[in-house]
Amino acid sequence: MMAMETNLSVTGLAVRLTGKTIVSDVTFAAHAGKVCTIVGPNGSGKSTLLKAITGETGHDGEVRLNARPLGRYPPRELAEVRAVLPQHTQLSFPLTVKEVVRLGLQNTPLPLAEAQGRIGEALDRVDMAGFEGRAYQSLSGGEQQRVQLARVLCQVWQPKAGDQPRWLILDEPISSLDIRHQLLIMDVARDFADRGGGVLCVLHDLNLTAMYADQVLVMKNGRLLADGPVADVYRDDLISDAFDFPLKIGSLPVADVPFLLPQAAEGRLPAR
Amino acid sequence: MTKIVLRPLQRHVAAARDGDRAPLARSAIALLAVLLGCAMLVSLNSGALEIQALKVMASAFDPPSTLSGEDLRDRIVFFQVRLPRVCLGALVGASLAVSGAVMQGLFRNPLADPGIIGVSSGAGLGAAGFIILGQSWLAPVAALLGVFSLPVSAFVGALLVTSLLYRIGTSDGLSSVATMLLAGIAISALAMSMVGLLIFYADDQQLRDLTFWNLGSLAGASWEKVATCALIVSVALVVALSLSRGLNALFLGEAAAGHLGIRVQRLKTLAIVAVAAATGASVAVSVGIGFVGIVVPHLLRLTIGPDHRYLLPASALLGAVMLILADTVSRIVVAPAELPIGILTALAGAPFFLWILLRRRGLTGL
């Protein structure tokens, strides 16, 4: 019990907006070195939960990051410990790709050459190398999302600061990406966790969750329906209940990775 | 010459093509500083009386007894009329342009400008209120603040309007152009009608004072005005410059700026106070100089990009240059009479504003 607490813990979290309860009674802990994903149907409160965890939305209950309550972090220090990738980012003025990514380095005074190098490397990791001079507004939705991820990566470049893990909080980071870039971006998140950082991520894709998540949180109607490793959570009854839809989970024969195919759902198979 | 100027410039343009406009912005600021010097010199040299500015400056420290009558006259015109006027022009131009740039960054909207959305009207109401009530209700203010009473009253008016506008015109930190402009129209109308009420209550002397202030061009410049204005404007400029990192983070929206470690609420409060102070100071000197706050930052963003670390100082310099030049033209075109400078800035600025509006409509459907 005396071990240094390096997790993101949420206790009794509830969010009420204009008298309506959006999220209630959510308690869990995500751990550094792991990828934790939040899944659930539309309107189940995933994004609201994430907004409460990042401090964007007022809430009841407590959120602790590396054992310290969120409210006790000065804003600047919090920004050095965790970075947040929003679902959509609308720029107010025309910036170049490089200028957008550089915003992630605001809190890190670096010599010019090193800053340039880091920006280049971050863009390389999200497969946007060579786009530095492009106008951000001229990019496609998926490209913009990757540029934003590069910015967020610059903000928490090293996954650990001393023995303190840093955190990546991602709200649907792959929602507008093609399949190659979906895998690529999840690889980036996986790598961040493997090097000691923590990743908390809202995902819609249950197959990618099965591939990448160490811990899965299933939300339904603003409550936490399940919390555990993929093997425990991916059960026909549980997933079908979560999405109110009869779903069947298969398993790849070569490696024991569960998968879901919409075609395999009950009543969707062509009659033989 | 090519080595000193052209080579670095080529390098900076190449860097800008690679997405890094910072070196280009820095050389633009240096260039603008030189331009400001030139504009001041041109302005000091022009006017109803032919004065050789350089000659007067060269003999500035000669004792008066050694000067001819003409030289003495030139010296007085130069130091008591032209120089304070040019300095005041520079201050007003810088504060209008920086107010515009800060406001646009805060509202996340390139069309926000103190003149257009009613902040200047609020400042005008504050100033008119002091001119008319300064000897009765506001006498304690006058006693307390002395020469600062007029700009401070204008500042209070501007502050009220800006905070009101921010509350009405934005939700979740996003401002819609339509709401903002419409709220600005309503608030301007309200301020105007209150000025009307004040005029109704004013006596003859106060009416004269108000009329003169309303006509106000830079012609009434005095060293006292320059000093008061300089004090307020420099504080506002320093505050604005200190906000540039936060305003940059605001490009991404309020929530994202918060995640980058910016204290967003504090940023907004300080930005509103700085804008109100700068607008108040310039309106107290001279009402009705519009569009500087739109045109200057917009032109600069097109060339050096929107990074506030460079945009704000560059706006201050270009605003000063533009206003000094406009003032010079207004003195020359109908000499020996003077054209109100507000006519000139509106003639150039209003079509420019429409052009931005049209371009945006094409892009976003407004």
pLDDT over threshold 70, residue B177: no
* Helix (H), strand (E) at residue A164: strand A164-165
Subunit contact B251:A94, Cβ cutoff 8 A: no
For residue B360, the domain's CATH number is 1.10.3470.10
Does residue A258 sit in helix, strand or coil? strand
For residue A195, the domain's CATH number is 3.40.50.300
Q: Which domain holds residue B354?
A: 40-364
**Spatial distance between the Cα atoms of A66 and B186, rounded to a whole number of angstroms:** 50
Q: What is the pTM of this model?
A: 0.89
**pLDDT score recorded for residue A189:** 96
Distance of residue A72 Cα from the nearest chain B Cα, in angstroms: 14
Average pLDDT, chain A: 90
For A97, which of B19, B252, B306 is closest by C-beta distance?
Answer: B19
pLDDT over threshold 70, residue B172: no
Confidence of residue A271 (pLDDT cuts 50, 70, 90): low
pLDDT over threshold 50, residue A234: yes
Q: Quick one: what percent of chain B has pLDDT higher than 90?
A: 33
Subunit contact A76:B252, Cβ cutoff 8 A: no
**Mean of pLDDT values over B112-121:** 83
**Spatial distance between the Cα atoms of A133 and B76, rounded to a whole number of angstroms:** 54
**pLDDT score recorded for residue B365:** 40
Subunit contact B260:A132, Cβ cutoff 8 A: no
Domain membership flag for residue B206 = yes
Domain membership flag for residue A239 = no
Domain membership flag for residue A115 = yes
The winner for highest mean pLDDT among B33-42, B45-54, B66-75 is: B33-42
Subunit contact A98:B250, Cβ cutoff 8 A: no
Domain membership flag for residue B185 = yes
**pLDDT score recorded for residue A258:** 84
Does A96 touch chain B if contact means CB atoms closer than 8 Å? yes
**Mean of pLDDT values over A100-107:** 93
Contacts of range B127-131, beta carbons closer than 8 Å, 24 or more positions apart: B127/B153, B127/B154, B127/B157, B127/B213, B127/B280, B127/B283, B127/B284, B127/B287, B128/B195, B128/B198, B128/B199, B128/B210, B128/B213, B129/B153, B129/B157, B129/B198, B130/B154, B131/B206, B131/B209, B131/B210, B131/B213
Question: For residue A96, which residues of chain B lie inside 8 Å, CB to CB?
Answer: 19-21, 305
Subunit contact B306:A83, Cβ cutoff 8 A: no
Which among A80, A89, A99 is the top mutation candidate for probing chain B, defined by the most B β-carbons within 10 Å of its own β-carbon?
Answer: A99
Subunit contact A75:B19, Cβ cutoff 8 A: no
**pLDDT score recorded for residue A110:** 87
**Mean of pLDDT values over B308-334:** 93
Task: Identify the CA nearest to A27 among candidates A56, A61, A1, A4.
Answer: A61
Domain membership flag for residue B7 = no
**Spatial distance between the Cα atoms of B104 and B293, rounded to a whole number of angstroms:** 9
Of B286-295, B304-313, B319-328, the one with minimum mean pLDDT is B286-295
Does A57 touch chain B if contact means CB atoms closer than 8 Å? no
Does A75 touch chain B if contact means CB atoms closer than 8 Å? yes
What does DSSP say about strands A82-85 and A167-171: parallel, antiparallel, or unpaired? parallel
pLDDT over threshold 60, residue B364: no
CB-CB neighbours of B52 under 10 Å: 13
Of A235-239, B68-72, B350-354, the one with minimum mean pLDDT is B68-72
Does B307 touch chain A if contact means CB atoms closer than 8 Å? yes
Domain membership flag for residue B29 = no
When divided into structural domains, chain B yields a total of: 1
**Mean of pLDDT values over A47-71:** 91
When divided into structural domains, chain A yields a total of: 1
Cβ-based neighbours of B265, under 8 Å, separated by 6 or more:
none
ipTM score over 0.85, yes or no: yes
Domain membership flag for residue B9 = no
Chains A–B, number of C-beta pairs less than 8 Å apart: 84
More confident residue, B342 or B361: B342
pLDDT over threshold 60, residue B69: yes
Q: Which domain holds residue A19?
A: 7-233
**pLDDT score recorded for residue A2:** 41
Subunit contact B260:A98, Cβ cutoff 8 A: no
**Mean of pLDDT values over A4-17:** 86
A185: tokens are 């971006």
Subunit contact B20:A132, Cβ cutoff 8 A: yes
For A103, which of B249, B263, B305 is closest by C-beta distance?
Answer: B249
